[in-house]
């Protein structure tokens, strides 16, 4: 069974989408360890994320999807490795920003076995450069500042990856501080 391709999505077998969803669920655990400002737990969750990434079977994909995934895979592998060797939590957060951008793109491209995920944004992250992250909840739990500014940020859009119509929405949300 294939997921329906819409907009810039690429159809992928259900088994691949399930494996990708497991990977994204582990990313959510990584996010939580950054929200808690826990350096060691973030390293541990990065290792688990690498294991989850390696379980994704690219051989399930057709040529178009395979080529799109290979581009993503090598970047993800590098970023996850950097997360594990980062010297402090600030460096982990910087790498997490790049990783998050990649994972948001993957969720939009391949879809997930989660009905809705949220793209959140903190304009003050990374020395006011701003940074995005993917969240399974609409409530803001900022991974870039942890409890210092836990609710700083806003949901920029919802990605509906498993809706009945097969469409994704881009719905701006209210600002939270």
Does the domain at 14-176 match CATH 2.30.29? Answer given as: no
Q: In this predicted model, what pLDDT tens digit does every residue of 125-159 receive, in sequence order?
A: 999 999 999 999 999 999 999 989 999 999 999 99
Is residue 151 within 8 A of residue 122, CB to CB? The reply is: no
Sign of the dihedral defined by the CA atoms of residues 146, 46, 106, 115, in that order: negative
Exposed, middle or buried, 79 (CB in 10 Å: 0-12/13-18/19+)?
Answer: buried
Q: Which of 3-7, 9-13, 145-149 has the lowest mean pLDDT?
A: 3-7
pTM for the model stands at 0.87
**Per-residue pLDDT reduced to its tens digit, 55-86:** 999 999 999 999 999 989 999 999 999 999 99
Contacts of 88 (CB under 8 A, 6+ apart): 39
Q: Which residues pair with 117 in a beta bridge?
A: 159
Helix (H, G, I), strand (E, B) or coil at 119: strand
- For residues 84 and 102, what is the distance between their CA atoms, to the nearest angstrom? 17
């Amino acid at each position: 069974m294939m997921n329906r391709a819409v907009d810039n999505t690429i159809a992928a077998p259900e088994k691949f989408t399930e494996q990708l969803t497991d990977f994204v669920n582990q990313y959510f655990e990584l996010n939580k360890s950054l929200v808690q400002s826990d350096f060691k737990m973030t390293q541990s969750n990065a290792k688990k994320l690498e294991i989850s990434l390696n379980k994704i079977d690219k051989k399930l994909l057709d040529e178009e999807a395979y080529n799109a995934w290979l581009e993503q895979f090598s970047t993800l592998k590098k970023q996850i490795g950097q997360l594990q060797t980062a010297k402090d939590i600030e460096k982990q957060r910087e790498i997490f920003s790049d990783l998050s951008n990649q994972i948001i793109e993957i969720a939009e491209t391949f879809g997930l076995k989660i009905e809705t995920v949220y793209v959140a944004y903190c304009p003050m992250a990374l020395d006011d450069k701003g940074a995005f992250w993917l969240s399974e909840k609409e409530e803001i739990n900022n991974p870039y500042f942890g409890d210092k500014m836990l609710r700083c940020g806003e949901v920029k859009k919802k990605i509906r990856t498993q809706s009945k119509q097969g469409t994704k929405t881009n719905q701006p949300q209210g600002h939270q501080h």
